[in-house]
């Protein structure tokens, strides 16, 4: 910038540009359409003298009828004065009609088994709403229609009631996933699975929804000349070019104050995904500092979802996710994945940067609100510069770009901005095993000595507690457990992996003991564990239907049973996870996770009560 602004206010929206600002649309989070929607509404201005003349004519014609109008019941619509939203109702009807037309064409294509053409039409239906030029959330009717439209499209693409075909092949195990190496046990047979069923996942709110409503306080807006000069120096450490603006410092002020918990949580959680994200972004040619976009998009939560049905760490809407190869069906939604979604995000950002000739501010803005909306804003402003188009874009996008720049500057030097002693979480670690028939996550958890919650946490793209039917699938398991899992899986017929359970047996325990405590007959145990020597194994396979107990240990003299009364209870601190608590006390994180029914890497609430095994009672708690 050529000058420094103190006590900065947002770029002025003048009478010359206010009409264009009214057309700024709500962000669609990754919209792909780049052309203006058909039938975009125009605003008509009326001169003041003409308005006076029209009012006089109105009075002449209407006032005599007031006595009649007064007899209309109070509840009559004749008394109702239209609101601004109601005035747009004809426009809403046009938008819905246009979207319905695309949806109808999509259904026809789907009935003709033209899936690609159907998806294109479904995407156009969604874009008809999101790039309509109206604020979707300002119209209850339009917002309700949009949400129903998204669900209808899911149900059309993933219909209920079809029966899958099970594959019958062997397993492929992969370890050392950082090197992407796989050791095959047997070559899997390729099977084209039918798409079946529909099931909603459980999601967390996206921080983007709150970002769109954020209003900075006067204190947060107070920016000095020295602050801006300091930002000019700090930006030298960022590996892409951008323009320093007082709004960036204002968001730094926000994070140093009332936004501190959000920033601290993001700095911690980023550790789980940042190594992977930097590797992928660098490989795709995206500046690695742009990875901090993930904090603003999702707060590093793979199950974050926005009002516009944008989902995952990188907040893809369904159509953009598909455009970048992210599968979405009844079984999986790769928008919630780690590797696939991160790679898609990097490629999308790279495409947007190329579109705007290497301008990463415009690329990030388009990532939020859609390239079509940014193209229109550039046309109105007459120049391709984020701060020039600022008056012509939606409020969420105005907040979005300076917010990311503030996060990047803080993350590059946390202590400089007052964020001291914050240790990022350890990177996620896991092995990958290819299962070739539907396998329940309960079975995966029991076979790898962990909790179902933990298996869900490291496989966030799975929409059910089972891997997809009819296809091979790479399921993540705890690091170091791949060989153990494969050894158990090979003992279970492919058609029983959805229902089978794994139980632990104690040394010296015989089949009759196991049968007595599980409710499974000795004959069933023998049938499902043919050739297994109890002297050399600690795991048995049992049917799911009647299992009463899956673990047991023989009591020893002087041994204290791990009853509820013998457990130690502690209060979690801010930023704690089960893994951190276990590491501080030299305990098994998986055991504590199972004991509390919480994923090992899930962030705990401050003050949340956590149960620990009795042996941890006297263990010192070191500073974490």
**Strand 183-184 relative to strand 204-205: parallel, antiparallel, unpaired?**
unpaired
> Residue 418 has which token pair?
């007052």
Contacts of 500 (CB under 8 A, 6+ apart): 440, 443, 492, 528, 541, 542, 543, 544
Please name which of 450, 448, 442, 430 lies closest in space to residue 595, comparing C-alpha atoms.
450
Determine what percent of the chain falls in helix, strand and coil, rounding each to the nearest 5: 50, 10, 45
Is residue 133 a contact partner of residue 39, using CB atoms and an 8 Å limit?
Answer: no
Q: Is 116 tagged catalytic?
A: no
Q: Is 597 left (phi over 0), alpha (psi -120 to 50) or beta?
A: left
173: enclosing H helix or E strand: strand 172-174
φ/ψ (deg, to 5) at 17 = -115, 0
3-state SS string over 544-585?
CCCCCCCCCCCCCCCCCCCCHHHCEEEECCCCCEHHHHHHHC
3-state SS string over 242-256?
CCCCHHHHHHHHHHH
Is residue 255 a contact partner of residue 407, using CB atoms and an 8 Å limit?
Answer: yes
Q: Single out the catalytic residue among 121, 157, 220, 297.
A: 297
Please name which of 152, 105, 98, 107 lies closest in space to residue 127, comparing C-alpha atoms.
98
Q: What is the DSSP string of 483-543?
A: HHHHHHHTTS-GGGTTT-EEEE--TT--HHHHHHHH---HHHHHHHTTT--GGG-SEEEE-
Which regions of 3-141 does DSSP assign to beta strands (E)? none
Angle (CA) 613-616-622 rounded to 5° is 140
Alpha-carbon distance of 541 to 518, in angstroms, equals: 11
Exposed / middle / buried, residue 61 (Cβ in 10 Å: 0-12, 13-18, 19+) = exposed
Q: What is the DSSP string of 315-341?
A: TB-HHHHHHTT--BSSSBBGGG-SHHH
Is residue 298 a contact partner of residue 287, using CB atoms and an 8 Å limit?
Answer: no
- What positions carry a catalytic annotation? 297
């Amino acid at each position: 910038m050529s000058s420094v602004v103190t006590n900065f206010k947002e770029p002025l929206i003048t009478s010359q540009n206010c009409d264009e600002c009214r057309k700024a649309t709500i962000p669609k989070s990754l919209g792909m359409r780049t052309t203006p929607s058909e039938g975009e509404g125009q605003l008509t201005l009326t001169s003041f003298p003409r308005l006076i003349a029209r009012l006089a004519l109105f009075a002449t014609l209407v006032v005599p009828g007031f006595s009649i109008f007064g007899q209309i019941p109070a509840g009559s619509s004749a008394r109702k004065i239209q609101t601004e939203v109601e005035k747009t109702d004809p426009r809403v009807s046009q938008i819905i009609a246009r979207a319905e037309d695309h949806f109808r064409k999509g259904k026809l294509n789907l009935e003709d088994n033209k899936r690609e053409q159907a998806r294109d039409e479904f995407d156009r239906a969604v874009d008809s709403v999101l790039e309509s030029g109206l604020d979707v959330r300002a119209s209850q009717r339009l917002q309700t229609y949009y949400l129903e439209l998204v669900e209808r499209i899911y149900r059309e693409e993933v219909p209920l009631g079809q029966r899958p075909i099970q594959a019958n092949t062997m397993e492929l195990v992969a370890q050392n996933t950082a090197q992407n190496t796989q050791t095959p046990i047997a070559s899997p047979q390729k099977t084209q699975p039918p798409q079946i069923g529909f099931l909603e996942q459980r999601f967390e709110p996206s921080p983007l929804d709150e970002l769109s409503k954020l209003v900075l306080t006067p204190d947060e807006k107070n920016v000095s000349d020295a602050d801006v000069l300091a930002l000019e120096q700090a930006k030298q450490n960022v590996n892409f070019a951008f323009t320093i603006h007082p709004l960036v410092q204002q968001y730094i002020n926000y994070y140093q104050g009332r936004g501190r918990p959000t920033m601290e949580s993001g700095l911690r959680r980023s550790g789980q995904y940042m190594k992977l994200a930097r590797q992928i972004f660098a490989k795709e040619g995206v500046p690695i500092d742009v990875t901090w976009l993930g904090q603003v998009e999702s707060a590093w939560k793979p199950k974050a979802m926005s009002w516009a049905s944008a989902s995952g760490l990188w907040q893809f809407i369904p159509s953009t996710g598909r455009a970048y190869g992210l599968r979405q069906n009844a079984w999986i939604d790769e928008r919630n994945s780690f590797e696939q979604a991160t790679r898609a995000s990097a490629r999308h950002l790279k495409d947007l940067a190329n579109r705007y000739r290497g301008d990463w501010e415009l690329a990030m803005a388009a990532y939020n609100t859609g390239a079509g909306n940014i193209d229109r804003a550039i046309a109105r402003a007459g120049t391709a510069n984020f701060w020039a188009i600022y008056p012509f874009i939606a409020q969420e996008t105005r907040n979005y770009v300076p917010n990311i720049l503030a996060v990047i500057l803080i993350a590059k030097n946390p202590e400089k901005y007052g964020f001291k002693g914050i240790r990022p979480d350890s990177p996620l670690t896991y092995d990958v095993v290819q299962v070739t028939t539907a396998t329940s996550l309960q079975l995966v958890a029991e076979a790898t000595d962990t909790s179902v919650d933990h298996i869900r946490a490291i496989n966030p793209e799975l929409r059910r507690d089972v891997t997809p039917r009819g296809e091979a699938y790479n399921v993540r398991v705890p690091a170091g457990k791949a060989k153990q899992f494969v050894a158990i899986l090979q003992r279970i017929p492919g058609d029983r992996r959805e229902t089978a359970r794994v139980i632990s047996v104690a040394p010296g325990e015989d089949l009759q003991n196991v049968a007595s405590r599980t409710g499974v007959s000795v004959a069933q145990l023998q049938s499902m564990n043919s050739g297994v020597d109890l002297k050399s194994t600690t795991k048995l396979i049992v049917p799911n239907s009647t299992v009463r107990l899956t673990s047991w240990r023989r009591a020893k003299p002087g041994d204290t049973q791990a009853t509820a009364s013998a457990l130690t209870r502690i209060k979690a601190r801010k930023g704690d996870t089960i893994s951190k608590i276990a590491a501080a006390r030299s305990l098994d994180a998986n055991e504590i996770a199972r004991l509390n029914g919480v994923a090992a890497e899930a962030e705990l609430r401050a003050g949340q009560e956590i149960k620990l095994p009795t042996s941890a009672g006297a263990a010192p708690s070191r500073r974490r």
